[in-house]
Structure 1
Amino acid sequence: MEFIKGGVTAAKGFSAGGLHCGIRKNKTKPDLALILSDRECAAAGVYTRNLVKGAPITVTQRNIADGRAWAVICNSGIANTCAPDGLEKAEAMCRVAASALGLKPEDIIVASTGVIGPSLPIEPIANGIEELKASLSGEGSLAAATAIMTTDTVPKEAAVKFTVGGKTAYMGGISKGSGMIHPNMATMLCFVTTDCAIDPALLQKAVKTAADATFNMISVDGDTSTNDTFMVLANGAAGNVEITEESEDYAAFVEALTAVGRRLAMMMAKDGEGASRLIIYRVSGAPDLETARTVARAVSSSTLVKAAFFGADANAGGRAMCAVGYSGARVDVEKIDIAFKSAKGRVEVVKFGLGIEFSEELALEVLKEPEIETLIDLHMGDVSAEAYGCDLTYDYVKINADYRT
């Protein structure tokens, strides 16, 4: 497996596009994206666990109940959540896209992201759909990735090439996410396409497995959003024998999907609202995966830890110990070691659960880097897990205080 360029159009048979149709007042910001397969796809997804869900999720779940889909339409600017006509507007988006593409409304995956509450206008979408269709291209991933952004500062794409059943297959995706990011999905949309052939039921299992290892291991601010969707389309154009059981081919598929998800998850954490640093939390020495992930999520979600990283303060080690203690994981706190690592070196700050002397000068240099690893060794087993986060800066408050203006 190797990372390649191409994003959501890296796989055979997929095209994408994006443009400004008029949902956003700012004409320089694209606000409508489309992804299309040249043949029917197996489709599967996972969604937010928030009880308040965007109308597009309800419609998408219904549309892919048969495990099949052809296309994705997604707008930014308005989330179509808690709107009195939400279901009507989500269904209308499907009809508009289906009519332009010569498909049925139930062939469409629909998604929205943006401000919660306002009614989503359909007129701009209907007026722009033909131009959007004309923009579809095998090089259109970046345009689509840009059109689904909200407070993101950069578009997010990833793709890999891998082998399955003796055939070369491709998989790639785009995502958005910057704020309201927390495990149990995040304020994120992620659309992944692949030309690998796989049974829809197994695809659903693979999506959940990949999400648990990637998108459910990121945190920016502790808020779980309403519209989170991680959707995968598989059209079988690679020509492999369809994966119908948990074989070596299935394992290769899950590895590729997890790799794409991890790359996108890290991009989202790095692009956290107002963030200046990407923090990777690596927990090792755990007795089981649940313990490793519980510890990693707790530390990565700590507001105090995030603030300490913003100040390049090695007191983040003590705050990390605090988070481990309240995480709910059954650990022996007297065995825990914690260190920080970056391009400037490594500094150990906790040994056997206790703070130790260290060079403040080295710690400052290590923690000033834009990417930092927090290494937490529980010394209780051989299982590990990763979580992804960022620092908490003044700009986070500014961004969210002025979100609509």
Structure 2
Amino acid sequence: MLTVEIDPAEAGFDARRLARIDTHYARYVDEGKLPGFLAVVARDGKVVHVAKAGRADLEAGRAVADDTLWRIYSMTKPITSVAAMLLWEEGAFELKDPVAKYIPAFADARVWAGGNQNAPVTRPAVEPVRIWHLLTHTAGMTYGFHYAHPLDGVYRAHGYEFGSRDSLEDTVNAWARLPLLFEPGTEFNYSVATDVVGRLVEVLSGQPLDVFLQERIFDPLGMTDTAFSAVDPDRMAALYEPGLKRNDRLGAPALHPPEMLSGGGGLVGTAADYHRFTSMLVRDGAPLLAPRTLRLMAQNHLPGGAELKDIARPTISETQNDGMGFGLGFSVVLDPPATKIATAPGELAWGGLASTAFWVSPQDRLSVQFFTQLIPSSTYPLRSQLRQLVYQAMME
């Protein structure tokens, strides 16, 4: 359960200002824009404020509760990236290793050179897809739901718009045979690359991804409610579109174990569980990672030190591009004034399709999470407004 663990003033916050979080997002609920929400603010891993209102399931009349289960979608990606770096710490791979060394289907990759969805023109890739390319979304892969390039249509034509009906191994091997959008390591395109990282974890560890995550991350951190499907369907929040139209087509799969273990977007969990994960990030990686490992992940790994605005394809993502870089698994704030929102240098963050989000500010020892179930995540400026409301409540 989520309980306030430290007096806001002791943690450097003004309690009256924190209450603005409750008021602001309750207005979204009252205006019929959100079904419900839950926000958590913590300092040094101790919960300072919890705000919640509305319904987890409008039709059932079930209120948002501390133990509500949420589809975290792409907030799965940082967890999978940490899993890979646990193996990196053991010497299982190097970041520059070609992916084909472990997944042979990536050998002889080809790059899109023209044509259309039905008749692509490709050429051999000069640079192999490397592991760091996967972790930074610079591998040249894509998502079928982008609708931004003919290659996105190729993914859809193969059945890869949202997830897959095949095993993770079979799906990744199929993706490896599709063209790359660009030469690996030259641009950023938000993609299925983290799902490939999940398959690498399986190959390198000899364990299914769900077993590895359970033994190496969830159990050590006490994340008892996080899994690839709802551990208790009666606590599962419903999924909605704008206008609070229920979407069971995309929402229902989270109630059942999937065929494909999606390290890029398949986890379901509680706010309390994700708080345990972000608290690990605040604690310099303890007890999972060495501090130097987390610091490596938290640096900008985009080619040439570029910002996302310089090399990112114009597709759906979970961050803005101005002033932002990308590390090994999450966005990194490089230039706070350029973002034009309340941020801190080195802030790590990511979000999910259903408007969930988190960020960690190492310099402020701050972690924040936001949970709701509204797709797409771009519907309202929930994330920028939350930063505004949290940082204005910090009095030091």
TM-score, length basis structure 2: 0.25
Name the structure where strand makes up a greater proportion of residues.
Answer: 1
Q: Which has the larger radius of gyration?
A: 1
Q: Which structure's relative contact order is higher, taking Cα pairs within 8 Å and 6+ residues apart?
A: 2
TM-score, length basis structure 1: 0.25
